[in-house]
Amino acid sequence: MKKNTNEPKPIAYTHQWKVARSAALLEYLLAKLDLSRNSVKNLLGGHKVLVNGSVVTKFDYPLAKDDEVKIAKNPVRDDLQKTKPGPKAENRSPFKKWIIYEDDEFLAINKPSGLLSVESDKNRESAYSYASAYLKAKDPKARPYILHRIDKDTSGVLVFAKDIKLHSMLKMHWNEDIKLRKYIAVVSGRMPQKEDRIISYLKENVNNLVYVSEDRGGKKAVTNYKVLKENARYSMLDVAIETGRKNQIRVQLESLGHPVIGDEKYGEGENPIGRLGLHASELIFIHPVTKQKISLIAPVPKEFNKLF
């Protein structure tokens, strides 16, 4: 088989860290690296420093908790590593069309299925990189701050903070400040119980696959669902999660014998709509300063409803 020469090459890194507390980028690197100030400045000027997958050259770039900082072995081009065209190419609509909410403090989008929330080693095209470019076009000093993530193949509500202090406050009490996390899931078959609360304990194996544990040694996961629509082959569920475990919804529904359609990782791989049948439909959280409720909603994808 002929090798695809258009496939982006993974970036080789010499160092990588997850930020524990906010700091200016230059000072952070000086504390992490046994290098002179000029040497660290040369790394920045040489396009070898990436924050959440985006090349950063500014010394005073503000870092926030949980940012991922990496030092590349070789200079990295500024343009996005575009994914090769495929069946999901039509989802790559302009970023402005993805925006569902924006004010001076927050930016929320309806992330397309097939797009990473944050970069990976093979692909720097992500919701974060698009949000960063969008904000910098309006203000060169602006940047998005990551509050949460959703899986690459899951579509729906993804929110960024614009202010580092708000980001820090929300990250400190994220689980307490979130009042509702709702998803729409399309699964194989008809659910015997039309409404239920699933409580199980999840573990992860050496292959990074999550599974339901028979004992209570894993992480507790709580998921509530209600059947919205059904036919002979599929069911559409309104899902609300009380915990935010990795791949929680997909693993728990598969354990009941009703995997999410299009899930090749945890399901049978049945794919009638050309994507994963999971959508983050609603997120409600409390503003840490004003204490106002912020409700973000992403409409149910049309391809979900077409099955019914």
As a whole number of angstroms, the distance between CA 149 and CA 172 comes to 16
Three-class SS of residue 280?
strand
The tokens for 184 are 């729409």
Beta bridge partners of 240: 182, 224
As a whole number of angstroms, the distance between CA 71 and CA 205 comes to 29
CA 168 vs. chain centroid, Å, equals 18
Strands 278-286 and 155-161: parallel
Instruction: Using alpha carbons, select from 191, 301, 275 the residue that is nearest to residue 235.
Output: 191
As a whole number of angstroms, the distance between CA 106 and CA 10 comes to 32
Catalytically active residues are: 151
In order, the DSSP letters of 89-144 are GGG---HHHHEEEE-SSEEEEEEPTT-BSS--SS---BHHHHHHHHHHHH-TT---
As a whole number of angstroms, the distance between CA 67 and CA 20 comes to 8
Where does residue 246 rank: exposed (0-12), middle (13-18), buried (19+ CB within 10 A)? Answer: middle
